[in-house]
Amino acid sequence: MTEPALARTKGAEQFGSSSAAASGQSGDRILETRSISKHFDATQALQDISFSLYPGEVHALLGENGAGKSTLIKIITGVLQPDGGEILLAGTPVVIRSAAEAQRLGIAAIYQEPLLFPDLSVAENIFVSHQGRGQVVGWRQMSQDAEAILAQLGVAIDVRSPARGLTLAAQQSVEIAKAISLNVRVLIMDEPTASLSAHEVAQLFGLVRDLRGQGVSILFVSHRIEEVFEIADKVTVFRDGRLISTRLRSETSPQRSISDMVGREMGLLKPRPRAAIGELLLSVRGLGRESVFEEVTFDLHRGEVLGFGGLIGAGRTDIGLALFGIEPATSGTIALDGKEITVRSPREGMDLGIAYVSEDRRQLGLSLPMSITANITLPMLHKYLDRFGLIRRGLETETAEAYRKRLSIRTSSVDLAVAKLSGGNQQKVMLSKWLNTKPSVLILDEPTRGIDVGAKAEVHAIIAELAATGIGIILISSDLPEVLAMSDRVLVMREGRQMAIFSREEATQERVMTAAMGQVSAPIGEVAA
Amino acid sequence: MKWLQRHVRPEQVRELSLLLLIIVAVVFFGSMIDGYYTSRTFNRIVSSVAIITIVAVGQTLVVLTRNIDLSVGSVVGCTAYFVGTLLGRYHDLNPLLAVLTAVALGAALGAINGLLVAWGRIPSIIVTLGTLAIYRGILVDLSGARTVTTDSLPGWLVGLPRLNLMSIGGLDLPALFMLAVAIVLIFHLGTGYLAVGRRFYAIGSNPDAAALIGLPIRRLVFLAFVLSGALAGLAGFVTLARYGNITVESGRGLELAAVAAVVVGGVNIFGGSGTVLGAMLGAIMIGTLEQSLYRLQISEFWRDAILGLLILLAVASDAVILQRLRALWGRADLKIVTEPPAEATVAAGARSP
């Protein structure tokens, strides 16, 4: 079993320690995609992607959530099949049908959360995907091989201990060792640093540089732009499923990359007409939840739309969950209409007039087999009982019909199961459900994700109308143009920290994205209005 | 077809086709068994159906919440034996009190299940598999393997199975069967018109969403198990009345019949959909099969095997057939939907309902 590890070190010599600068020629590409495209239903996830990876380079992929990086990675690792285009490996066209096949071809991926078997030993984890090596496990041999690989990486882990209990950084090292044992030529690292401490990141980067020195090509995806510019030789930017630019690190800058990332079309989005903003409604000071987010401070007024910008996982949803009482805050204060409040459960949140419309319609939002009517009235069912405690079906239907009209939910009947509606109409049912709780603070989490353009415009019109009735709205969205078009002010989060609050005039795509990716640029808006 | 699609939901088609299947089964057995179409056969089937139905109603409530209660057979055995012993000792015990004792004992046993599932966070299949064995074990130990016999019971109880409330065309409807029908009606309306019923469906169809709107999930799951236990207790009383002789084996295997009835009756085993009425149809199907196979002198092991097969078929067909039906209905809805809606634009300024 020493074979793969040795082969790796021998093979490395062939490539020498070529760096990005030396990889100008077109002949020695290790991986190339030609005009790859992929669509999911109506969304074009990737369009005509031609991309090259050279031996011994660290190539970073940058882009907003949904720009197409993950789809490309999934295609390269065989998880998804492209609709068109081809993949060439060392000049030969290949079809990669599964992740196992990708591994055989020398392509491996490491993710933010390592996928180890917690009850198997480190050595077993390293060699788990080696197949066809006989049925008998040679424990001694395997341990020695594992130790050899880890030593080569300069990592000291007991290979006989179970993977459970290893630090995240150690688990990453095991994943890398696994890739090396597979004689990997292309290593994809998808946000590997997201949960690592600064010290661990430095260690990981040391490993990455070693691998590069051995001729391994590394595709590095990260939302931390300073890390990208520390480790990458080349930077490719994606936007809306298209490859926007590929530049050598020495020829670009963080600012330039961000400009490439955010140059999104506003499309049909029209800015929401400016409406009168009323008195102070919600006042949040120093809000935090241990190791999730901290020191969040903002005000929300009646009739105001406060956008929450930032990347997925920046803690925006967690603030929403805390305000609604699902995962209560552990520090800071919330005041509603000038009175300090504590929200410990969704019931308390609802009673206080706070509503949270979840980002996940199917998982957290709707009871799909139940009717539209039943979904809408469920949170307020106690208001629909007659004096015998029986549900007043007539009143329920009245409510459902009223919302069907108001939000133009398209359905043949309000008795239809929600499962049968389109995404946009499901979203409207969910909005109806929460509007029926008569909230004064409405938290909308990704209200237009996965719905078509027409429905999106309708949801935007609904948001504008709701704000006009004096509801204070917190709009969490990863769709930057949407946040900018709908919001009166934009609060930007990054890794659980509040980076800035921009006024409508200050908020530009570049400013928001720069704050979201950790590059602080002037001017930063005031902390509270 | 259009009329059908407009007036019947796919879930109801399932119930209608089950009704059809019952008729087919009756016709089939009628051609196989001499003297099948007699009031005697009818009475046997009906009194067997009564017990399965009452247990299946409770099972439905539990299954709706995405749980399962495997202990019902043992609960039936325990209550039948305990109340039988009680009545054997105190002949002048008030009949109503005897029924209430059975229900209360069943509810208490159900409460133990509910506590362990809702607050102990142990999967219901494990909890009730455990209590299935434990309740039976306690019964065997406390009874010392003695049997309750008919002659020890008071006369009113022994005469109960022959008490008919009404008869239609020479077919008698015994009081015990009518009791089951009453239970079905009460719980069918209860799940449809009480807030608690709606919440059972909500929990089963999406527990996370139910938590998000602040439903007391644990209390509701606990309640479902208590009701299932209480109804099993009532079924225990009916079992005592019907058979008179109660051994420690009494009620054994009833969980299989109850789960089969529920699943065959179209209640989704993953919770959230199905009706009590459907479960009753399932129970009628199961009862008809059990009694008819008995008449055909097929061994009880084969009868159980056939029940098992029926469960598998029901669940498999649930996945396949209901999908198809929904797709068919879905297309019909689409046709209606594509007509331009009256209010295509957001009714700006529309008053809040």
Q: What is the pLDDT of residue A131?
A: 54
Strand ranges inside A316-468, DSSP E: 331-336, 339-341, 354-357, 441-445
pLDDT digits (tens, 9 = 90+) for A448-492: 887 777 788 889 999 999 999 999 999 999 888 889 999 999 999
The β-bridge partners of A235 are A60, A247
Q: How far apart (Å, rounded) are the C-alpha atoms in residues A300 and A280?
A: 6
Find residues 329-388 of chain A whose CB sits inside 8 Å of chain B. Answer: 345-350, 356, 358, 363-370, 374, 378-379, 381-382, 384-385
Q: How many CB atoms lie within 10 A of CB A398?
A: 15
Question: What's the gap in Å between the CA of A163 and the closest CA on chain B?
Answer: 27
Residue A19 shares a structural domain with residue A149: yes
Q: What is the pLDDT of residue A171?
A: 87
CB contact under 8 A, A411 and B194: no
Q: Indicate the pLDDT class of residue A423, thresholds 50, 70 and 90.
A: confident
Q: What is the pLDDT of residue B217?
A: 93
Q: Indicate the pLDDT class of residue B229, thresholds 50, 70 and 90.
A: very high
Q: Distance between terminal CA atoms of chain B?
A: 36
Q: Indicate the pLDDT class of residue B2, thresholds 50, 70 and 90.
A: low
Mean pLDDT of chain B: 85
pLDDT digits (tens, 9 = 90+) for B239-277: 999 988 888 889 998 999 999 999 999 898 888 889 999
**Least confident among A122-131, A238-247, A424-433:** A122-131
Residues in chain A: 529
pLDDT digits (tens, 9 = 90+) for B294-327: 888 888 888 888 888 888 887 777 667 666 766 6
Residue A378 shares a structural domain with residue A241: no
Q: Indicate the pLDDT class of residue A26, thresholds 50, 70 and 90.
A: very low
Q: Which of residues A202, A225, A257 is at a domain's end?
A: A257
Whether residue A347 lies inside any domain: the answer is no
Nearest C-alpha in B relative to A438: B352
Whether residue A395 lies inside any domain: the answer is yes
Please check whether residue A63 is in contact with residue A264, taking contact to mean a CB–CB distance below 8 angstroms.
no
Strand ranges inside A90-222, DSSP E: 92-94, 107-111, 186-190, 217-221
Strand ranges inside chain B, DSSP E: 164-168, 171-174
Mutant choice from B193, B206, B338 vs A, greatest count of A C-beta within 10 A: B206
Q: What is the pLDDT of residue A24?
A: 42
Whether the pLDDT of residue B344 is over 60: the answer is no
| Mean pLDDT in residue range A253-268 | 76
Whether the pLDDT of residue A422 is over 90: the answer is no
Q: Indicate the pLDDT class of residue B8, thresholds 50, 70 and 90.
A: low
Whether residue A326 lies inside any domain: the answer is no
Whether residue A269 lies inside any domain: the answer is no
**Least confident among A64-68, A189-193, B58-62, B209-213:** A64-68
| Mean pLDDT in residue range B114-130 | 95
Whether residue A304 lies inside any domain: the answer is no
Q: What percent of chain A has pLDDT over 70?
A: 89
Whether residue A213 lies inside any domain: the answer is yes
Whether the pLDDT of residue A258 is over 70: the answer is yes
Q: How far apart (Å, rounded) are the C-alpha atoms in residues B265 and B259?
A: 10
| Mean pLDDT in residue range B52-68 | 96
Whether the pLDDT of residue A110 is over 70: the answer is yes
Q: What is the pLDDT of residue B64?
A: 95
Q: Indicate the pLDDT class of residue A519, thresholds 50, 70 and 90.
A: low
What is the signed CA dihedral for A426, A427, A431, A436, rounded to 10 degrees? 0
CB contact under 8 A, B272 and A370: yes
Domain hosting residue A371, numbered range: 363-438
**B264-289: b (≥16 Cβ within 10 Å) or e:** bbbbbbebbbbbbbbbbbbbbbbbbb
Does this complex have an ipTM over 0.85?
Answer: no
Number of structural domains chain A divides into? 2
Query: Domains plus CATH for chain B?
Result: 33-333 (1.10.3470)
Q: What is the pLDDT of residue B99?
A: 95
| Contacting residues of B for A385, CB less than 8 Å apart | 195
CB contact under 8 A, A398 and B211: no
Mutant choice from A367, A422, A445 vs B, greatest count of B C-beta within 10 A: A367
Q: Which one-letter DSSP state was computed for residue A361?
A: I
Nearest C-alpha in A relative to B274: A369
Q: Indicate the pLDDT class of residue A524, thresholds 50, 70 and 90.
A: very low
Whether the pLDDT of residue A402 is over 80: the answer is yes
Nearest C-alpha in A relative to B212: A346
What's the sign of the alpha-carbon dihedral A338, A343, A349, A355?
A: positive
pLDDT digits (tens, 9 = 90+) for B328-337: 655 544 444 4
Whether the pLDDT of residue A132 is over 60: the answer is no
Q: How far apart (Å, rounded) are the C-alpha atoms in residues A467 and A273?
A: 11
**Least confident among A305-314, B281-290, B335-344:** B335-344
Q: Which of residues A206, A229, A257 is at a domain's end?
A: A257
Q: How far apart (Å, rounded) are the C-alpha atoms in residues A506 and A210?
A: 43
Whether the pLDDT of residue B71 is over 60: the answer is yes
| Mean pLDDT in residue range A24-53 | 82
CB contact under 8 A, A345 and B193: no
Please check whether residue A202 is in contact with residue A27, taking contact to mean a CB–CB distance below 8 angstroms.
no
Q: What is the pLDDT of residue B82?
A: 94
Whether the pLDDT of residue A15 is over 50: the answer is no
Three-state DSSP state, A504: coil
pLDDT digits (tens, 9 = 90+) for B152-176: 888 888 888 888 777 777 677 888 8
Residue A193: both structure tokens together: 């640093």
Whether residue A350 lies inside any domain: the answer is no
Whether residue A428 lies inside any domain: the answer is yes
Q: What is the pLDDT of residue B328?
A: 64
Whether the pLDDT of residue B237 is over 90: the answer is yes
Q: How far apart (Å, rounded) are the C-alpha atoms in residues B300 and B179?
A: 27
| Mean pLDDT in residue range B92-98 | 91
Highest mean pLDDT among A367-376, B141-150, B222-231: B222-231
The string of DSSP letters for A437-454 reads T--SEEEEESTTTT--HH
Q: Which of residues A387, A410, A438 is at a domain's end?
A: A438
Whether the pLDDT of residue A299 is over 50: the answer is yes
Q: What is the pLDDT of residue B5?
A: 64
Find residues 265-284 of chain B whose CB sits inside 8 Å of chain A. Answer: 268, 272-273
| Mean pLDDT in residue range A45-67 | 90
